[in-house]
Amino acid sequence: MDRRTLKTQRLIKDTLLQLLQQKPLHKITVSEITQIANIGRGTFYVHYPDVDSLYDQIINEAIDNLTELFDQTYPSDADDANFTALFRAVTQYLTTNATLFGVLLRNQKSGKVMRQLKDLFAQRVMTERQFDPNDSEIQVTVAFTTAGAIGVLSDWLTGTLDVNADQLAQIIDKILAKF
């Protein structure tokens, strides 16, 4: 893709996020987006079929980016697992994209997004650790731990937890080391 295409897509995505801070997704129209972004409706439709598709693409990109971070920073040594680097990378990504994740947490589809993340990371942990998928205790442990980590990250992002990113990463690492 050329730079102009990427720039236009970024403008459209940023405009949607701006609007999502003010109102729910179902009340946002293509006309509003194009008016605020100062682009033609045709330009919007060249890139996205509708507002819901645009929203879904934003979510999918965020999940893909988090998946890539997970793959790059997940501890490779099961005997000496240090999750601090993983959670530092995740908290940095969440901080850099705070507007996006703030909107996602307030949006009506946020439960679906959080469920996708939990399922994705649970599956990744099962695969990475080569856990037996038929072992009920392992399944429950991984589901519990993954849901807890995502819940804590969500609370941190919304300001419920008053700790900085490094503290959060270290605390989560200590908790996970007990498992």
Q: Which of 23-32, 75-84, 117-126 has the lowest mean pLDDT?
A: 75-84
Question: CA 12 to CA 36: how far, in whole Å?
Answer: 9
| pLDDT for res 78 | 59
- The answer to whether residues 121 and 70 touch, using CB atoms and an 8 Å cutoff, is yes
Question: CA 28 to CA 101: how far, in whole Å?
Answer: 18
Q: What is the pLDDT of residues 44-61, one digit of tens each?
A: 999 999 999 999 999 999
Question: CA 31 to CA 40: how far, in whole Å?
Answer: 9
- The answer to whether residues 129 and 78 touch, using CB atoms and an 8 Å cutoff, is yes
| pLDDT for res 80 | 59
Residue type, 122: A
Q: Provide mean pLDDT across the span 15-34.
A: 94
pLDDT over threshold 70, residue 85: yes
| Alpha helices per DSSP H over 97-134 | 98-106, 110-128
| pLDDT for res 110 | 60
At 74, the pLDDT band (50, 70, 90 cuts) reads confident
**Domain ranges within the chain, ordered by starting residue:** 1-48, 50-177
Q: Provide mean pLDDT across the span 114-134.
A: 88
At 81, the pLDDT band (50, 70, 90 cuts) reads low
| CATH number attached to the domain at 1-48 | 1.10.10
| CATH number attached to the domain at 50-177 | 1.10.357
